[in-house]
Structure 1
Amino acid sequence: MLARLMIATALLAAPALAQPQDQTAPDGPPKRVRSILLYGDQSCPKPANPDEIVVCSNAGESPYRIPKRFRDQPKEDAPSTSWSRRMEVVEDFNSAGLPNSCSPVGSGGQTGCTRQMLQQWYQDKLDKEAKASRVP
């Protein structure tokens, strides 16, 4: 029984061994792979030998230039602040001592601290969301 099994296995393997090997197929992975970043109008170089693969990728205008998505970020200094926000700051400053002002000055200055903290928290939240939406 074992002899028949071995003979059947040898007969099945014989056609696979008798086939000629394809000489054009590579024996394994390429010997060298080069990855190149191209800038501007550069062209992809040719491989030095048949065992080398060259992979080219366009990386933009120049290696020394900031990408367009990071250029021209909106300014956050005083001249670029809106007039309505400037007016809110002036009103907050001038309301010291009045009721709901959260100020140590005046008779009604102690009220309004909770409202002011909630407004500040909400403004900080909006500022963080605006900054996060600008970052790529």
Structure 2
Amino acid sequence: MMRLLVPAILLALVPLGAAHAQERERINQIVVYGDDPCPPSTGDEIVVCARKSENERFRIPENLRGNPTDPARDSWVNRAERLEYVGRSGIGSCTPTGSGGASGCFNQLMRQAREELAVGDGTNWTQLVEAARQERLGQIDEQAERIEAQIKAEEEAKAPQ
């Protein structure tokens, strides 16, 4: 009876430990260059690295190079889109005037977010964090399997033959 109970208790506690670790984890996002090593994750911290080429090490990030407000950099599509919204009020406009003026604020925020993503450096931090999380969960599973194997070995050694 005891032989069956101990592994069941351990298996029941492993998901609790994993859930507890996920609640308190810290995520450190680092950009490394060339062949520099990514610092290892320690304790309750997950380190996620995005790798850039060596020639980008001391350069200003691409999205900050040049003058972003230079009119020559603005495409005619963006200018035409801004003209479309000049003087707009009422429903769907995100203004305090007119009925339903606030209803367009979400659309405006989404449009700005898409523009910011288009200008970004292309690093998908969400995907990198998820990969690091899965790696960490794999380590927890391996540790649980080692503990379970150790307990089984101890039980077999103690069992009368």
TM-score interval (norm. to shorter): 0.3 to 0.5
Q: Is the radius of gyration larger for structure 1 or structure 2?
A: 1
Greater share of residues in helix: 2
Larger RCO (CA within 8 A; separation ≥ 6): 2
TM-score by length of 1: 0.36
